Amino acid sequence: MQFSEIVGHDDIKSLLRSQADGGRIPHAQLFVGKQGVGKLPLAVAYAQYLNCAHPHDGDSCGECASCRQFARLEHPDLHFVFPYVHKHTEETCDDYFSSFRQWFLSDPYGAVQDWIAFQSNDRKKGEIYANESERIITTLSLKSYQAKWKTLIIWLPERMGEAGANKLLKTLEEPSPSTVLLLVSDNPDRLLATIRSRVQRVNVPALSAEQVFGWIRQHSTEVGEEDARRVARASMGSLSTAKQMMEDLLQGNKRLDDFALLMRTAWGIRNLPSLDQKGDFLLRLQEWSEKKSGESRDEIIMWLQYCQRLLRENFIYNFKRPELNYLSVTEESFSSKFAPFINEDNILPIMKLFATAERDIGQNVQIKIVLTDLALQLIMQIK
C-alpha cells in the first residue's frame, strides 16, 4: 500500500517520510485515532516506504519486489498481530492471517466488527490472546529475511490481556536491531501507561467532511449527492462509519430500527394505561432482548455507540439549529418525532445507561442480562 492510496493525512505522511529519509526511525510508534480514519493503512504504507528499493516523489515506488510483496501483505518481514476469535487455545494470528489479508485488502478502512464478522460466526469479542506474546518475542528475535526493516504491526493492542501486555513491554524496552513496531490503537487509554511511555505517539485526526464525501462518491454510485453529503458530515471523519451509514441507506437502517423499537417499547410500558397493554409491551421487550443478544459482542458494542451518538443528536435537535446536527435523512425523520422525549432531565441518565451497557458487554458480562437491564431501566426515563 502506497501513501497515495490513503485518503488525506498529508501532514502525517510528510512526518513519516521525513523520519525514514533522515534515518530517524523510532523503534516503536503508536498510531492513535478514532476507528475508520486510516491508521492501519498508514502503518502498512509506512512499512512499505521504509523497505522500498526505489522511493521517489514522496512515496514508495510500488514496482520493486519489496513493494509488490507489501501490496499483497506477503512480505516475509512484515508481521501482524490482531484480534480474532480462536477455535483452539493453541492458535495464533498466523492461523488466521490468510483471512485477515483477504479482508484488509478488500476493506482497508474496515472496523474491527467487520473483521470479526468476516472471520467468525462466533458471538465472542475479538481478542489478542496470551500465547500471542510468545509468538511476538520469537518473531522479533529472528533475523530479517531480506528487508532493511523487519516490521511488526499490532492492530488494537488494547485488546491484549495483562500478561501479554507485560511481555510486549519487555520487547519495547529491549528492541531488536533493525526492527520497527507499529501499534495501531482506537483506545490508547486502555494500554498500560508503561507501554504508552515507551512509544512515539502519532495522532491521526478525523478526516474532513469533504474528504469523506470524495471517498463516498468514488466508492458508491448508488448514493445520491445530498445523501452522500449528509453521510460525510454525520460520519465525523470516519470512513468505516460512512460505509456503515451508506449500507443503512441502501439496505434499511437496522441499527436505527432496533433503537426505535427499544425506546417505543420502554415508553409504552411506562405510559400506556392498560395492564394488558403494558404486559404486551413487556413481552416485546423480552423478545427484543433475546433476539438482540444473538449478535456478536463487537456488533452490540458498535450498536450501543451508535445509540449514544443518536441520543446526543436528538438532544441537540430540540434547539432547532440544523447546522449543529449530524443526521442522515432517515435519522432526521425519526428524530423529528422522537427528540421531544430527550431533554435536560433525562439525557445524562440515559447516556449513562448506554455507556454502562457498552462497558459491561466489553467486559464479557452476559449479553442478555445487560440488554434486559438496560431496557428495564429505560422504562423509568422515557416519559
End-to-end CA gap in the chain:
52
The candidate with the shortest Cα–Cα distance to 168, out of 177, 159, 202, is: 159
DSSP letters along 38-66, please? SHHHHHHHHHHHHH-SS-BTTB--S-SHH
pLDDT 10s digit of each residue in the chain, 383 long? 899 999 999 999 999 999 888 888 888 899 999 999 999 999 999 999 998 989 888 899 989 999 999 999 999 889 999 999 888 878 888 889 999 999 999 999 998 888 988 887 766 788 888 888 888 888 777 777 777 888 999 999 998 887 778 877 877 777 777 889 999 999 898 888 888 888 899 999 999 999 999 999 888 777 778 888 888 888 889 999 888 888 877 777 888 999 999 998 888 887 777 888 778 888 888 888 888 888 888 889 989 999 999 999 999 999 988 888 888 888 888 999 999 999 999 999 999 999 999 999 988 888 889 999 998 888 888 77
CA 329/CA 97 separation, integer angstroms: 39
Residue 2 is given by DSSP the state -
The candidate with the shortest Cα–Cα distance to 296, out of 243, 364, 357, is: 364
Domain 3-203 bears CATH identifier 1.10.1060.10 = no
Angle at 5 between CA 65 and CA 24, to 5 degrees: 70
Q: Return the bridge partners of 78, or none.
A: 151
Residue indicated by cell numbers 501513501? 3
Interhelix angle for 297-317 vs 254-271, to 10°? 70
Q: Which cell is 102 given?
A: 483477504
CA 383/CA 9 separation, integer angstroms: 45
CA 96/CA 141 separation, integer angstroms: 22
